A = this chain, B = another copy of it.
């Protein structure tokens, strides 16, 4: 029905729609999918013919309801598998993404349903991202980037914006993990870096790190 490639396009459009006003641009998609704009143009026409996206030349694409449903199902599978890999197979949160990129394309309704059940219906993946339920509903949390928090406030580390291996390994190295408490001690105005208290340890982190870490104020 939908090929791996088509599924990857739908997923990418879904993610890009969250941060783009109007349609998702061809270039944005090309960059996200590490392909060329011309390839995107082509594929987007195909998805449009299948009524998975709405597309007007030069105006970008957006998901149709059907397309969004498909995208959410892929994201659901991706995150359930990530959870499985970490909880059952001793994978670290830095290792799961690439394997999940493959597993998310396995076609079997029963598989997803039973996997979800087997895992105890988890609602967050190892990176703190919500796992949509069977209906496609996300259970979202009010979270804020650490970079946007004022000194004196504290919160629980609940997610990452960048879930690249490099960033996650940086967090591991500095013992920053989901569920830990973080308090902002002070912000250096010159470079916007932060001095934080992480479970009783003081730590200095740069603005770009703070910009990729979500916390929930407590």
Binding site for B on A (CB under 8 A): 85, 88-91, 95, 98-99, 102-103, 106-108, 110-111, 114-115, 118
Contacts and interface: CB of A to CB of B under 8 A. Distances in A.
A91 B118 CA distance: 12
Contacts of A108: 98-99, 102
Contacts of A99: 106, 108, 110-111
Contacts of A85: 111
A87 to B, nearest CB: 10
21 contacts: A85-B111, A88-B118, A89-B110, A89-B111, A89-B114, A89-B115, A89-B118, A90-B114, A91-B110, A91-B114, A95-B110, A98-B108, A99-B106, A99-B108, A99-B110, A99-B111, A102-B106, A102-B107, A102-B108, A103-B106, A106-B106
Nearest to A106: B102
Contacts of A118: 88-89
A114 B95 CA distance: 13
Contacts of A88: 118
Nearest to A90: B114
A107 B107 CA distance: 17
Contacts of A107: 102
Contacts of A111: 85, 89, 99
Given A89-B115, A89-B118, A98-B108, 15 more contacts: A85-B111, A88-B118, A89-B110, A89-B111, A89-B114, A90-B114, A91-B110, A91-B114, A95-B110, A99-B106, A99-B108, A99-B111, A102-B106, A102-B107, A106-B106
